[in-house]
Structure 1
Amino acid sequence: MSIFVIADLHLSATADHPMDVFGSRWQGYTQRLCKHWRAVVGEQDTVIVPGDVSWAMHLSEAKADFALLQSLPGTKYLGKGNHDFWWETAAKMGRFFEENGFSSLRLLYNNAYVVENYIVCGTRGWFVEEEQQVTVGDVDYAKIVNREVQRLKISLDAAKRLQADGNEEKEILVFLHFPPVWNGFSCPEILETLQAYGIRRCYHGHIHGVYHVPPKRQIGDLELHMISSDFLDFVPLRII
């Protein structure tokens, strides 16, 4: 049984959001994603999806996209991205999944799970520089970063509790939507939190149309892995 990861599925069964503005690699991406997913992921495997799951604006509108995910092999852990406008409270989403038979979907948010010989957790994160957030409007950068740091700490504390409960040998893997470091900029508050908790591997998406960068970067003892769907050519990446 393996763990795979792929961010930024950008499913759009009920929303008209063409992704080919980011390049020809996005043409027919949903069909290619499903084909590759079924080729590499088995029913007993796990797939982490760190955000930008669906373009739906409301939870009910995401039903067809969740149904597609349900039809794919494996247990899926869904994180929150900046385009997941359908996101509701954990209780409401849990009921929605149960009522619609989405038994293979889990939420990765303010919590942690033991998966195989690892502990997985994560949160959304935020832009690495304030100027980039103009795409979401006039918001308080420092306030949002502080909130995301607190959510990351909640998730990491949950992971540490699992680790202390008979799982001391299990490494904690962190999955963010936003990169904590990118293109000469960084979000020091998130980066410092990861380092303070001794995290060695962090996976992120969000970046599109960039294919020349190395898939892994080293920041001190921390490995940062780029796992945006188009960067992976829509093939879920096996990490163990």
Structure 2
Amino acid sequence: MLGVKLFVVRVFAIADLHLSRAFPKPMAIFGPNWEGHPEAVFEEWRKVVGEDDVVIVAGDISWAMRLPEALVDLRDLGELPGTKVLLRGNHDYWWPSISRLREVLPPRMHALQHDSLMIGGVAIAGSRGWDAPGSRDFSEEDLRIYKRELERLRLSLKTVQNQPYDHLILALHYPPYSVTGGPTGFTELIEEYRPDMVVYGHLHGADPNRLPQSWDGIPLHFVSADMIRFRPKLILETTGEERDKP
């Protein structure tokens, strides 16, 4: 008989780290919420995240413009506890082709693009997202990117179909709803695939209590670093099974 070992899976999420060690860019100019950045990012992370935990980093990771510059920040992240799952944000200009990025990522760091990741029975799918039609100064180029990001998210979610998972987390950089809190193509995918929860960032200076807390009964977790005081938010704690090999 094979033995079954139970283990606890804890998943955290945070977005908008805006690291810049290669060419330091002080964030205090963006308001008092950024006081203590970037040191607070690393201090708060170590307070709550353990080696066996998972952290979704939902975009705007580094201010770098090129991958070699961003690698400094990625290696700093790599030294923190936990397994990291990265998504691209609108300021991650350094993000190259996904194959090239995966070649240089530190150990226990994964980047999502058109696919998903399964860790301990937890499936994580996602994409960058984008502003929805109706946003201020929405252009033809915005519409092109919006449609592309919808397709990328659909491709990511399709990879979890027929997979044996216990929980599905959908991660975005942009909020899935419109500027008025209304439906978008992203919320339609949420309704279609019914993830256990959605995480996103991108917004700054917003009152978290005035943002939508759920969509069609599915919890929405707003995790911009400056709005959660740089401490990764625990979004899921569950148990998984690990079977001994015969």
Q: TM-score range by the shorter chain?
A: 0.7 to 0.9
Correspondence for 2:144: 143
Q: Is 1:96 paired with 2:108?
A: no
For structure 2, the residue ranges without an aligned partner over 5 or more in a row are 1-8, 237-246
Q: Taking structure 1 as the reference length, what is the TM-score of the superposition? A: 0.87
1:4 to 4, 8, 12: 12
Kindly tell me: are residues 8 and 187 of structure 1, through their superposed partners in 2, closer, same or farther at Cα, counting changes over 3 Å?
A: farther
Cα deviation 1:40-91 (Å, max 9, x = unaligned):
1111111100100000000011121011101111111110000000001111
Distance change in 2, residues 1:203/1:147 (3 Å): same
Change (3 A) 1:87 1:149: same
Higher RCO, Cα 8 Å, sep 6+: 2
Q: Deviation at 1:141? A: 2.1
- Which has the larger helix fraction? 1
Mapping of 1:180-195 within 5 angstroms?
180-186=176-182, 188-195=184-191
1:130 offset after TM fit, Å?
5.2
The 2-side partners of 1:183 and 1:146 are apart by: 17
Question: 2:176 matched to 1:175?
Answer: no
Whether the aligned pair in 2 keeps the contact of 1:109 and 1:155 (CA below 8 Å) is: yes
Q: What per-residue deviation string (whole Å, max 9, x for no partner) do you get for residues 183-203 of structure 1?
A: 414461111122112234111
- Where does structure 1 lack aligned partners over 5 or more consecutive residues? none
Are 1:234 and 2:208 matched, yes or no? no
In structure 1, C-alpha distance between the alignment counterparts of 2:103 and 2:95, rounded to whole Å: 13
Q: Does 1:84 align with 2:85?
A: no
Aligned amino acid, residue 156 of structure 2: S
1:5–1:48: 8 Å Cα contact kept in structure 2?
yes
| Greater C-alpha Rg | 2
Name the structure 2 match of 1:19. 27
CA gap of 1:13–1:210, structure 2 versus 1, over 3 A, is: same
Alignment correspondent of 1:219: 215
Equivalent residues in 2 for 1:187-206, closer than 5 Å: 188-206=184-202
Q: Distance in 2 between matches of 1:175 and 1:153?
A: 12
Instruction: Give the % identical residues.
Output: 33
8 Å contact kept, 1:37–1:72? yes
Alpha-carbon RMSD across the aligned residues, in angstroms, is 2.0
Q: Is 1:130–1:141's contact at 8 Å kept on the other side of the alignment? A: no
Structure 2: how far apart are the matches of 1:113 and 1:7? 18
